[in-house]
């Protein structure tokens, strides 16, 4: 059976390293000019070079997105960009536009091309069409059901299938939304979405009536406001077995704009689940383990409520009550050094991101979602050695120390910490 791939987002180099620390097999990233995350501009060509070098040393992969809805002006810079990516030896390009694909084949004939979900590939005939044109992998549209994935795999078994399993959902069909352009002149289809679907709208009272029909649709703002277009987040953690059986081999997490904490938590949880999936475990144990992991996703990560999207043939759910559901846990730091065991304890050096206090309930999330629970009795300033009752983050990114039992083992660099805030 083909090895399953966990594919994570990389908004910058730190997020990429965090993804690899927590078990991602590959990451996807892009430059603002050609990516659907134009404001996530922490990567330039020099940054991609560093990313590829780091990934190669770790025996991981880097995929670069060129998935905008390209206009003529974009092709002026594309050939030079492709030549540079070729020289950097990125592992694959994620492309949606047929014109861009044609230019890729002209300037980099041997490039591995993955068809972006923006291409709306949702059926067997389209998959075979693209396969005949040298596309190695299809990132299926989020609208494809589990039944359809099985049919597609049977019709084109040699084509790799990738599917989004976690992250934000767009309220428009495969992201083809014009609201951002309409409201603030920022095109979602050129990577500059202002996310008007997440906004709170003031609705006094409207009645919509279709001609020739008696039914009236009422839009009424309640006391909590109205979030009429706000889709719940996708979460297919409990469906990984079914997706593997259907033919999916790459499981993709959305979120290049998300935090390092999000990256670590989501990647770690899905890594643990995929490792369980690779092991000979019973269906009952799989259900028990994924229920526990799902509770972690629900309780310890900010989200908009979860949905299984279109996988079962239904419709994506909207969260019309609020913009998101806050977590009782807060990202408070990232490990920069793990000291040697001494006198039964081990010192953990970390960069402080949000305030952490003596006595706080703290969880250190090791790779594969192995959690160390602790309540610091003492904190120290990592530079001066001064004792602290609380450590603060801020622009200077203060470095602090806490101690854990030596039996908990070494903690890898890049490990994240969180604290309970209520």
Architecture of domain 329-420: Beta Barrel (2.40)
Nearest Cα to 101, choosing from 58, 135, 136? Answer: 135
Name every residue whose Cβ is closer than 8 Å to that of residue 98 and which is 6 or more positions away in sequence: none
Q: In this structure, are residues 120 and 213 in contact, taking their beta carbons and an 8 Å threshold?
A: no
Q: In this structure, are residues 254 and 164 in contact, taking their beta carbons and an 8 Å threshold?
A: yes
pLDDT at 168: 83
Q: Could you tell me the CA-to-CA distances from 398 to 150, 383, 418 in Å, in that order? A: 51, 9, 16
Q: In this structure, are residues 156 and 131 in contact, taking their beta carbons and an 8 Å threshold?
A: yes
84-98 pLDDT, tens digit per residue, is 999 999 999 999 999
pLDDT at 322: 64
In the beta sheet, which residues pair with residue 217? 208
Q: In this structure, are residues 249 and 140 in contact, taking their beta carbons and an 8 Å threshold?
A: no
Q: How far is CA 402 from its chain centroid? A: 30
| 118, two tokens | 């923006």
Task: Determine whether 289 is exposed, middle or buried from the number of CB atoms within 10 Å of its CB (0-12, 13-18, 19+).
Answer: middle
Sketch the domain layout of the chain as residue ranges.
5-169+233-307, 329-420
Q: In this structure, are residues 115 and 147 in contact, taking their beta carbons and an 8 Å threshold?
A: no
279-334 pLDDT, tens digit per residue, is 989 999 999 999 999 999 999 998 888 888 888 876 666 665 666 778 899 999 99
φ, ψ at 381 (rounded to 5°) = -75, 125
For the chain, helix, strand, coil in percent to 5 are 30, 25, 40
pLDDT at 226: 60
Nearest Cα to 341, choosing from 403, 386, 383, 417? Answer: 403
pLDDT at 33: 78
Nearest Cα to 91, choosing from 134, 35, 27, 144? Answer: 27
* Superfamily covering domain 5-169+233-307: Aldolase class I (3.20.20.70)
Rg (CA), the chain: 23
pLDDT block averages, 10 residues each, the chain of length 422:
89 94 96 68 85 97 92 92 96 96 96 94 97 96 94 98 90 69 72 77 54 54 61 91 97 91 96 94 94 95 87 69 79 94 94 94 94 95 93 79 93 96 80
Parallel, antiparallel or unpaired: strands 250-253 and 160-167: parallel
CA-CA-CA-CA dihedral for 162, 168, 172, 173, to nearest 10:
10
| 379, two tokens | 């904190």
Nearest Cα to 87, choosing from 115, 53, 121? Answer: 53
pLDDT at 37: 61
């Amino acid at each position: 059976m083909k090895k399953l791939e966990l594919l994570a987002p990389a908004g910058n180099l730190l997020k990429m390293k965090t993804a690899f620390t927590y078990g991602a097999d590959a990451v996807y990233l892009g430059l603002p000019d050609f990516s659907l995350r134009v404001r996530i501009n922490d990567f330039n060509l020099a940054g991609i070079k560093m990313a590829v070098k780091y990934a190669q040393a770790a025996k991981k992969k880097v995929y670069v997105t060129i998935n905008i809805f390209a206009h003529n002006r974009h092709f002026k810079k594309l050939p030079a960009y492709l030549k540079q990516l070729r020289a950097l030896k990125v592992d694959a390009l994620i492309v949606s536009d047929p014109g861009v694909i044609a230019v890729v084949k002209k300037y980099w004939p041997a490039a591995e091309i993955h068809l972006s979900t923006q291409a709306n590939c949702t059926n067997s005939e389209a998959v075979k069409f693209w396969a005949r044109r040298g596309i190695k992998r299809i990132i299926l549209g989020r609208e494809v059901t589990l039944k359809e994935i099985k049919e597609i795999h049977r019709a084109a078994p040699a084509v790799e299938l990738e599917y989004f399993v976690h992250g934000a959902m767009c309220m428009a069909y495969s992201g083809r939304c014009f609201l951002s352009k309409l409201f603030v002149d920022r095109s979602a289809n050129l990577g500059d979405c202002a996310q008007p679907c997440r906004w709170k709208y003031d609705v006094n009272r409207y009645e919509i009536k279709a001609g020739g029909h008696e039914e009236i649709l009422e839009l009424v703002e309640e006391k909590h406001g109205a979030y009429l277009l706000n889709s719940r987040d996708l979460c297919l953690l409990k469906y990984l077995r079914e997706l593997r059986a259907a033919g999916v081999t790459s499981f993709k997490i959305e979120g290049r704009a998300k935090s390092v904490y999000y990256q670590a938590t989501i990647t770690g949880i899905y890594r643990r689940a995929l490792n369980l999936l690779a092991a000979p475990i019973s269906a009952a144990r799989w259900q028990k383990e994924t229920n526990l992991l799902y509770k972690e996703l629900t309780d310890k990560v900010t989200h908009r409520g979860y949905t299984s999207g279109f996988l079962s043939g239904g419709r994506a759910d909207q969260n019309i009550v609020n913009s998101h559901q806050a977590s009782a846990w807060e990202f408070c730091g990232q490990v920069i050094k793990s000291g040697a065991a001494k006198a039964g304890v081990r010192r953990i050096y970390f960069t402080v991101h949000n305030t952490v206090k003596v006595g706080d309930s703290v969880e250190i999330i090791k790779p594969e979602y192995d959690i160390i629970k602790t309540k610091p009795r003492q904190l120290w300033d990592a530079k001066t050695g001064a004792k602290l009752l609380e450590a603060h983050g801020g622009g200077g990114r203060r470095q602090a120390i806490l101690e854990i039992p030596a039996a908990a083992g070494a903690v890898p660099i890049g490990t994240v910490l969180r604290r309970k805030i209520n």
